[in-house]
Amino acid sequence: MVTSNSASLDMLIDRYLNYLLIEKGLSPKTLESYSSDIARYREFLLANGINHISEIDTSVILKHLIALRDAGLKARSRARHLVALRGFYKFLVHEKLLAHDPARLVDLPKTVLKLPDVLSVEEVERLLAAPNTQKTTGARDAAMLEILYAAGLRVSELVNLKLQDVNLEAGFVRVLGKGSKERIVPIGLVAKEKIDFYIENSRPRLLKNRLSPHLFVAHAGKPMTRQGFWKLLKRYAGQARLPQKITPHSLRHSFASHLLEGGADLRAVQIMLGHVDIATTQIYTHVAQEHLKRMHAKFHPRG
């Protein structure tokens, strides 16, 4: 048992969060999520007069999850809380502050599998064809949409690309993903052509004799922002008459699903997406299976 008052409890939490930041290299957004979940657990402990962390905290963790459920948190959110607590207790065992991990005995709340929104190949083609490449910004937008789909990037990865990150001759892009983890992703011929056209023709006009390390720039040479890209995506989705709500992540989902539908190896897709755990990638196999079921129902004589 680690006997503690609120101050020493805070110290343990700070040590864990520093470990996640320095040793694990988690992104600021992920770290903020872990910090929020652990802070809520701390509040629960103190509100219930619990001033220590113990090897027999299994019942305490269960009561906390029940309290979260009663407060209206969905199963997916409660599962995220438990993942954070598992990591916290595992860290305390690793640091020899606890002899046993009480959180490992608690099962994750059952969640309903929510399949990602995926565009059809025809819908993606309509979206990618929407920008007018004769315009300076249109050529840039076409290149951004194309590389987003070609490499399955997150929008933050897209807007943070540097000019030096793209190797058009070799046909790949170097991406700095979550937790500052680098990956190399191939891009197709069409993406290479659109990026090359943008770099040679549109980018110099947008820069207006200014210098910028960023691949994609807005007016006056400022780097493209996530919000700026979101706005242009919504505009092009409307022009393409896409029937559903489109987000930048929709193209990433579509990238993964279309690869698997085409027969790509799940492990290869995991590497290209930058997923640490292959379980995160496996949700796309459900999408691919749904596609196969529809094809079977449509074309099989007994479908």
- Catalytic one of 192, 203, 252, 253: 252
* Catalytic (active site) residue 249: yes
- Catalytic one of 40, 183, 226, 249: 249
Provide the β-strand partners of residue 182.
Answer: 176
* Catalytic (active site) residue 284: yes
* Catalytic (active site) residue 40: no
Q: Is the dihedral of CA 73, 27, 19, 6 positive or negative?
A: negative
* Catalytic (active site) residue 16: no
Provide the β-strand partners of residue 174.
Answer: 184
- Catalytic one of 78, 81, 154, 194: 154
Q: How many other CB atoms are found less than 10 A from the CB of residue 284?
A: 27
How far is 146 from 60, CA to CA, in rounded Å? Answer: 50
Rg, C-alpha atoms of the chain? 23
Identify whether the C-beta of residue 252 lies closer than 8 Å to the C-beta of residue 145. Answer: no
Query: What CA dihedral angle connects 258, 287, 283 and 143, to 10 degrees?
Result: 30
Q: How many other CB atoms are found less than 10 A from the CB of residue 96?
A: 7
Residue 125's H or E segment, with its range, is helix 121-128
- Catalytic one of 63, 178, 234, 286: 178
* Catalytic (active site) residue 69: no
How far is 132 from 140, CA to CA, in rounded Å? Answer: 10
250-267 b/e (C-beta count within 10 Å ≥ 16 → b): bbbbbbbbbbbbeeeebe
How far is 77 from 57, CA to CA, in rounded Å? Answer: 21
Catalytic residues: 154, 178, 249, 252, 275, 284
